[in-house]
Structure 1
Amino acid sequence: MGVYISNGDSSVLIDGLHTKYGEDYLFPTSSLIHKINKELQPDAILFTHYHGDHFSASLANEYLASNKNSVLFGSNQITKEIKTSKDRLFTISTTNYNKQTIKVKDFKITGLKINHAGKRHTAVENIGYIIHLGTHRILHVGDTNWMEEINLFNQLDLTNEHIDIAILPYWMLLENNASQQIKNHINPKQIIATHISPRIQQQELLDMKKKNPDIYFLTTLEQQIQL
């Protein structure tokens, strides 16, 4: 789910600093981590939740130590693991679905609770983010699903946020009514699908792309999309 977003002047990195978690997950190489720390240098590093394919406390601490003007966003389960740079941490509350907006440099970041998918992950504090970068609003939902049993997306009220780009885990596209769900609950201009296993069968990926010709699929490290 690691995504780097930039408009040339400002940038954020979401879930991009973590180590190897399993064969089903891509992870940044040491050279890519060096590039993030020394070249890309995002103004803000954001984490949706603490699972090992999204977050490494040691890499986050290391990044903040070497980039003194950068800030970090996450739930309490994330920020409590950051031992330094306490004045540069923004903890997003998960007590309700209220949107929490913080200004960073010349852009804004809105964080909000979006439940993690799966009954065994109910204790996981999953955060969604809306990045207000220039004239664009970019939504990243972390590891969620439609979760109709709790009317999750009705509670999130995202259609009024005028989302330009929605970054979604690919499994949110698999339901038969996914297109209508996306339109009804997010209504973005563009969709990017992520969290695609490097071990996915090529035919399965081709089938998904054929079914969703207007959606971009992130499948390789450092893959770039210009929108």
Structure 2
Amino acid sequence: MKTKNLASILSVLLISLAFGHAAAQGFQHADSLRITYIANYGALLQAGDKRVLIDGLFRQGVEGYARVPKVLLRDLEKNRGPFAGADVLLVSHPHADHFDASSVAAHLRKNSKAVLLSSQQVVSATHKALDGDANDRLIEATPEWKHREKRTVAGIEIDILRIRHGYAHNYSLHNLGHIIHLGGKKILHIGDAEMISENFALFDLPAEKIDVALLPYWFLTSASGSKIVRELIQPKAIIAMHIEPAQVSSISAEIAESFPSAHVFTRPMEKLVF
């Protein structure tokens, strides 16, 4: 009888310990940084009750690159499901595979707490699409090339970096990089940045100690891009994005050779926790 009672007590203790450990893990997880892939270079960043959407609200896209699946686009624009309650909407630049003014406007109309923080070009296009609605929730920040601005929106600190877009015919576009401070981590997103040292050197990103860099894949598969990542960014973790669906296998293999610890986002709603 004593043996049976002892066994029962031990079982209860083990279950209690396991439950306590799970609860503690769950508590830690609630405040952890979670990054969810949407499509192309778009992601949802979450930590605790704070949410940031970056480059995820677009409709048409660009031929060859991943588009937002229709069911996800509906949820994004209607402010529901996993995308409900975003605090900040960020847009790196006004290309169709990163931004659609009507899509951003649709979300702003449904989500009364969301604020758009972006360049003059993006804010102007969104202002027109809103036609008078929610214009008090549009914040413009357009630093000069190689300069930065710091903003705090909804309690989220964001550094806005003006980084030139790749290729001369795109130089007139306002391409923004962002350092997002969330969940005690720093997340870097650089838009379609040109792969030149001059774009990054003055920001002293190694001193920022970037925890997670969301990077266009070509920064990981080219000599010039890889040099920038290793010398001028030096992130603790890398997530490769902006990958053409038709080339997922070959590009993933190339990335694995140069940056074996990098994660490759290719499946909508794929999630990583840091």
Counterpart of 1:55 in structure 2 is 99
Give the SS at the match of 1:68.
coil
Asked if the contact 1:107–1:134 (Cα under 8 Å) also holds between the matched residues in 2, the reply is no
Deviations 1:66-119 (A, max 9, x none): 101110011111000123322211212132433212222232112121110112
User: How many residues align structurally?
Assistant: 225
Counterpart of 1:81 in structure 2 is 125
Structure 1 residue 31 and structure 2 residue 78: aligned?
A: no
Q: Which has the higher helix share?
A: 2
How far apart are the structure 2 equivalents of 1:97 and 1:173?
22
How far apart are the structure 1 equivalents of 2:185 and 2:104?
26
Which deviates further from its counterpart, 170-179 or 50-59? 170-179
Deviations 1:188-222 (A, max 9, x none): 11111110001116234323224321001111211
Structure 1 residue 144 and structure 2 residue 184: aligned?
A: no
Change (3 A) 1:175 1:35: same
How far apart are the structure 2 equivalents of 1:163 and 1:202?
27
How far apart are the structure 1 equivalents of 2:233 and 2:205?
5
Structure 1: runs of 5 or more not aligned:
none
For the aligned residue pairs, the C-alpha RMSD in angstroms reads 1.7
Counterpart of 1:17 in structure 2 is 57
TM-score norm. by structure 2 comes to: 0.77
Counterpart of 1:95 in structure 2 is 144
Counterpart of 1:110 in structure 2 is 159
Q: What letter matches 1:152 in structure 2?
A: N
Give the SS at the match of 1:80.
helix
Which deviates further from its counterpart, 37-46 or 153-162? 153-162
Q: What letter matches 1:55 in structure 2?
A: F
TM-score norm. by structure 1 comes to: 0.92
Counterpart of 1:68 in structure 2 is 112
Whose radius of gyration is greater, 1 or 2?
2
Asked if the contact 1:76–1:92 (Cα under 8 Å) also holds between the matched residues in 2, the reply is yes
Q: What letter matches 1:153 in structure 2?
A: F
How far apart are the structure 2 equivalents of 1:203 and 1:82?
37
How far apart are the structure 1 equivalents of 2:211 and 2:45?
13
Give the SS at the match of 1:219.
coil
Structure 1 residue 125 and structure 2 residue 174: aligned?
A: yes
Change (3 A) 1:62 1:119: same
Asked if the contact 1:20–1:26 (Cα under 8 Å) also holds between the matched residues in 2, the reply is no
Q: What letter matches 1:59 in structure 2?
A: S
Tell me the percent identity: 32
How far apart are the structure 2 equivalents of 1:145 and 1:166?
16
Change (3 A) 1:63 1:201: closer
How far apart are the structure 1 equivalents of 2:251 and 2:144?
38
Deviation at 1:223, TM superposition (A): 1.5
